[in-house]
Amino acid sequence: MSETYDDPASVTVVVVDDHPIWREGVARDLAAQGFAVVATVADSSFTLRIAAATQPRVVVIDLDLDELSAVEAVRTIANTMPDTRVLVLSERAGHSDVLEAVKAGAAGYLVKSASAAELMDAVRRTANGDAVFTPGLADLVLGEYQRLTVGPEPGQAPVPRLTARETEVLKLVATGLTSQQVAKELGLSRRTVENHVQNTARKLHLHNRVELTRYAITQGLAE
């Protein structure tokens, strides 16, 4: 079973942004809520060295960096640091970089206009393995998910068969909803929703909600 991070002090965080006022402000807010901020970094290339050295639970990274692409940094972290989760932030919402970041391995995406409370909650949920998205991005994620229901392109491996209910649950999980929110939306118990998530992950040979979300989006994108 995955480790849970209910105590903010157990969540180590690296904050990455090339704007010092915003970067240090986020670090202060996180520290004030008890999170263990281990480093603040101005560029994504240095982030990779810091993350490799500190192995933080969460990297909060601005998508709009000038040097090494933040998406490439996300991909490297996802591929080489399996215990580290990446929460991407940006001043914009709804552009294609959202999907590219999630495909690369980001656990979530939040706009910088989010409140401090929303950011704290997003970091906590990211640490615990949830897929976290700014509410306004749900339509974008769902739009890409809808392509998944059409079926694979010629030559692609067949998509494992899911039940109608599993498909419904995956559809909502892919927008970043919690089990409780999915349960309320579908009129089910939380335990039933969690069982569907586990069954779906087992069928797809995946391990957590982040991987389920990445699967839904990646399989849904036209090549």
CB 101 within 8 A of CB 137: no
Closest among 130, 214, 111 to 177, alpha carbons compared: 130
Please give the average per-residue pLDDT across 58-78, as a whole number.
83
The top-level CATH class assigned to 8-133 is: alpha beta
pLDDT digits (tens, 9 = 90+) for 11-33: 999 999 988 999 999 999 999 99
User: What is the pLDDT at residue 138?
Assistant: 56
Query: What is the C-alpha separation between 150 and 186, in angstroms, rounded?
Result: 22
Q: What are the residue boundaries of the structural domains of the chain, listed by start?
A: 8-133, 139-220
Q: Which fold has domain 139-220?
A: Arc Repressor Mutant, subunit A (1.10.10)
Please give the average per-residue pLDDT across 86-92, as a whole number.
83
